[in-house]
Structure 1
Amino acid sequence: MKQLFPDLWETQEEHPFHGVTTHAYLLTQDSGNTLFYSTGVHEDLIAIQRLGGISRQYVSHRDEAGPPLAAIKQMFGNQLCSHALEVNAIGKYSKVDVVFDGSSVEPDSVEVIPTPGHTSGSTCFVFQSPHGYRYLFTGDLIYPEDDGWGTLVQWHSGGRKKALGDSLLKLREMRPDVVISSASVRRSAVQAITPEQWRAVIDQTVGRL
């Protein structure tokens, strides 16, 4: 585990596909820790246990589903959270405890933002850290790639080009300080950014759709 900010930790990298790197991210709070995305690295789960375990795990879309979800829940007794349109795929590996289909602010102060387009139920999450950073967790909706940013429509999972464009425009005004994707290609998945830079990234990405 690598500490990125006072309340945010990054798990070890995994490589599910050639050239693609994934991580999970642990947000620590006195009220209970939150895990974004998923990890299958046992050493990281031990480290998370030492940091107080987790109360909730947020999955941004079905591609993060797999056997580690059940192992994490067995170890920590946490709630698993996802969009309603992703539940069938995710539920093959572990029961989903918290299901959302619209925007909400959850009890752990995580803001849920449905952003369909990559898959039908792709979801992003925002957290305003008490340490001054506004974190935007984008899943695979938009991710750092080489010297730019990438996005992808997964047609077989209900993704649609127009929905993706609309979702990206929804994120345009989020004003993040740090953007954290679930995957990246030859770059760090964690990118510090200004609001002006973020709007430019979104405009360029939408323009390529």
Structure 2
Amino acid sequence: MKQQQLKMQQVYPDLWLSQPVFPEPKDWPDLKFHAFLLKRDEGNILFYTGDITENYDDLEALGGVKRHYLSHDHEVGPGLATIKARFGNTLHTHSAAEPLAKTFTQVDETFHARGHHPDGIEVIPCPGHTAGSACYLTRASDGRSYLFIGDTIYPSGGKWEALVDESDREQFLQSIELLAKLEPDVVLFGATMPDKAFHEFTPQTWRNALKEAVQSLDNIPVRNGYDQ
């Protein structure tokens, strides 16, 4: 039997990147959303948007989805229900993102504080970009640390930027202080503007990226919010 040619990209031995999704409105022409599939012997874990319609067959070929984690409510869409119906996975999100997510499908677990989930997943609430923003820290099969940060900060043409509501700025700065204490080897982004969706860091380059993203709050043009 001929092996299926996958559209998803293998970026590390245990990690696969979806094809990009281009959300509305079109006044964000460079904005791309992505999802990542983390391969685990106990069952694969999907992070970020579920509306990766061109990659559902790839998910099946890679062993399906056991758990699906959202980083914030901008990733909510009809794909959440499609993936759950096809793979029977559970859906996990910050409690503040649950009301929107459950308009599409059942949310199986919510959280509001930092804690540990099965298969070595640490959930880290990081409010600021949205009230329900969260990051996820785990270890790769080769020992490196992965940080799934959503778009708490995001790469934009070689720069680091952030976008928050003015009312959430104080929470965002507190989240940045928390993230600066982490030392991820690889950071996986749910959105880019435009840039590649994953970057490797040293402790110093990570802190520099966070600092630059904070500075961008006062430098980048004001943009309207977006919906997927």
TM-score (norm 1): 0.94
Deviation, 1:117, is: 0.6
AA aligned to 1:4 is V
Q: 2:200 aligns with which of 170, 192, 198?
A: 192
**What is the aligned residue count?**
206
Equivalent residue for 2:213? 205
Letter of the aligned partner of 1:71 in structure 2? T
Cα pair 1:9 1:27 within 8 Å, conserved? yes
Query: Superposed, which structure 2 residues align to 1:28-177 within 5 Å?
Result: 28-154=39-165, 160-177=168-185
Structure 1 residue 208: Cα displacement: 4.3
Please identify, of 197-206 and 122-131, the stretch whose mean Cα deviation from structure 2 is larger.
197-206
Q: Is the 8 A contact 1:21 1:185 kept in 2?
A: yes
Q: Percent identity?
A: 39
1:146 deviation in Å?
1.4
2:35 pairs, out of 20, 24, 44, with 24
Whether 1:9 aligns to 2:20 is: no
Q: Secondary structure at the match of 2:155?
A: strand
Check conservation: 2:161, 2:212, Cα contact below 8 A.
Answer: no
Q: Deviations over 1:57-81 (max 9, x none)?
A: 0001100000000000000000000
After superposing on structure 2, the runs of 4+ consecutive aligned residues of structure 1 that deviate more than 4 Å are none
SS in 2 for 1:15: coil
RMSD, aligned CA: 1.3
**Structure 1 unmatched ranges of 5 or more:** none
Aligned AA (2:32): T
Q: Determine the structure 1 residue equivalent to 2:186.
A: 178
Mean Cα displacement is larger for which, 117-126 or 39-48?
39-48
Q: Distance in 1 between matches of 2:43 and 2:108?
A: 16
Given that residues 161 and 216 in structure 2 are in contact (C-alpha distance below 8 angstroms), is that contact kept between their aligned partners in structure 1? no
Choose 1 or 2 for highest CA Rg.
2
Could you tell me whether the CA contact under 8 Å between 2:121 and 2:137 is conserved in 1? Answer: yes
Deviation by residue 1:42-65 (Cα, 9 ceiling, x = unmatched): 341111111110110000110000
Give 1:95 deviation, angstroms.
1.0
Structure 2 counterpart of 1:8, one-letter code: L
- C-alpha distance in 2 between matches for 1:206 and 1:20: 19
* 8 A Cα contact 2:53 2:79, kept in partner: no
C-alpha deviation, 1:132, in angstroms: 2.3
* Structure 1 contact 82–99 (Cα < 8 Å) conserved: yes
Name the TM-score, length of structure 2 as normaliser.
0.87
